[in-house]
Structure 1
Amino acid sequence: MNFLSNEWTIYPNHDIYLSHNNVQRLLISKNQKFNACVPGLVHSILESNGVLPNLTKETNDTKYRDIFQCDWTFENEFSVPDFDSTADINSDDTFILVMNKVELVCDVFINDYKIGS
């Protein structure tokens, strides 16, 4: 059995700006990737990467709320032992992907092929 915890990368699907006093500054570029442990929450991952301050202090939860209006991609590379790369999706091989603790809406892709929602 292969567990896909740890060694994940997350990134936003578009640039995220922080607005303060009618001035916008780029907070996170869509090209920025962050190391993540899964299971994990976007805000805790960004805190551990030094991008966000503690959101439970002062008014940080409202100051940084736009971050959570963005779709985020969680990405992980893995290989399947003894996988016949010539097999197609309709082969007799069965692979089971179990996703515990997914609390929000998501789409799941493997090699750019959507396998579920």
Structure 2
Amino acid sequence: MSKFLKYSAGGTLVYWIEILLTVTITELTNVWFMYAFLISLMIGLFLLYFYHKYVTFECHVHKDYQFLLFFLVTLFIYAGWYTVSYFGHIYISTHYLAVVILSSAPFSLLGYFINKNYIFKDNNQPVCK
């Protein structure tokens, strides 16, 4: 449970950093919002990878494909979360916070499970704590 709390705290922290970066980049450079979002999303993915590798799972073993797998899984989870969240806001527009929590919880659990059991493991042997 402690690792999941670290995982969730890191995800929440990076989410807020991405929001602040998106707004800052948009305001300072006057670029289109979606370009700023894409830049902040990429920065957030790097931050998340290093946070989960060294803080959440305490992994100090380097694997060449580890970041690529993390990147693909995280993008898949982001896409699922954004899709569910989008449709949730369309159909339950009056309860914004409930939609965010209900759409975030299952994807957070899925991401934790995949990261713990596949990405930060080597040949079914834990390479991280």
User: TM-score, normalized by length of structure 2?
Assistant: 0.26
Identify the structure with the greater strand proportion: 1
Identify the structure with the greater helix proportion: 2
User: TM-score, normalized by length of structure 1?
Assistant: 0.28
